Structure 1
Amino acid sequence: MTTSSSDPIHSNSAPEPVGLYPHARRVGNLLFLSGVGPRQKGQKQIPGVMLDSHGQIADYDIAVQCRAVFQNVRTILEEAGSSWDNLVDVTVFLTNMKEDFQTYNRVYAEYFKDNQPCRTTVEVNALPTPIAIELKCIATI
């Protein structure tokens, strides 16, 4: 993990970005995370996602995806010198608000019982990989 405040931050444990961007960037005492999904480093299988023979989502478990995303966020935060308790703002992207919001909201409450950052949840048409949730976070260091 690189930690200079002028350099991008790349996690050694989080899944690789799907484009040319860092896992996070520090500006002063703020840490801005790039979008984080449930993929796992070095694995093709995405937690909670079943793909058909064409690589399209056949079925998925939003609770499993939520837990995987939250673990990835925690990993990036900790490797960057921050922590879960330092999250101050979370933007959540769901691909199916109608079907997934209740479960996502329940799992979210389990993880954010003590620290309650500001939160925005929006529905998007699609995400860059076959996933149903992605988080964009800001934390303090």
Structure 2
Amino acid sequence: MTDSKVLPHLATPRGRFPHYKQAGELVFISGTSSRLPDNTFVGVEVDHLGVTSLDIRAQTRAVIENIESIVNSMGAGLGDLVQITTYLVSMNDFGGYNEIYAQYFDETGPSRTTVAVHQLPHPHLLIEIQAVAKIPATPEIRKQS
């Protein structure tokens, strides 16, 4: 079974790619950010003078919840993730990212790699996460696992 989907309840991808592609029991989740369906970003505040403040904790939480929404759409959960790759614009945000990540996962969670990148597709983004999940291909198998 191979299936690709753009989910209508999430922000539309900023290119021609799906939110996820399923190949058998493996689901490859495209890089996911804190962007909302209305094209605003969680973890971004702009004051009356136009000064922008970015919050790695709020963005990390939003990214994980967006990924959770993707796996939930397939009848699965965060516990079905087997691998995560995180892209941070600055390793100075590693501590805040780790703090929120630990609220969702522990040492029994997915394998993880975190790398610093020069920039992400929008200047308000501090983080993007790509993931792989193992989800049984049929609902009957999911119930048995």
Q: TM-score, normalised by structure 1?
A: 0.86
Work out whether 1:48 is the aligned partner of 2:46.
no
Alignment deviations for residues 58-113 of structure 1 (CA, whole Å, 9 cap, x no partner): 3201100011101100001111333211000000000011x210111111011113
How many residues are treated as equivalent by the alignment? 133
Q: TM-score, normalised by structure 2?
A: 0.84
The separation in 1 between residues aligned to 2:99 and 2:90, in whole angstroms, is: 15
User: Unpaired runs of 5+ in structure 1?
Assistant: none
Q: Identity of paired residues, percent?
A: 37
Task: Give the alignment's Cα RMSD to 1 decimal.
Answer: 2.0
Offset of residue 12 of structure 1: 2.3
Larger Rg: 2
Structure 2 match to 1:36: 32
Q: Runs of 4 or more off by more than 2 Å in structure 1?
A: 50-53
Work out whether 1:69 is the aligned partner of 2:96.
no
Farther-moved stretch of structure 1 (77-86 vs 128-137): 77-86
Of 2, 6, 10, the match for 2:2:
6
Alignment deviations for residues 41-68 of structure 1 (CA, whole Å, 9 cap, x no partner): 1x23211113589x9x832011000111
User: Unpaired runs of 5+ in structure 2?
Assistant: 136-145
Offset of residue 15 of structure 1: 1.4
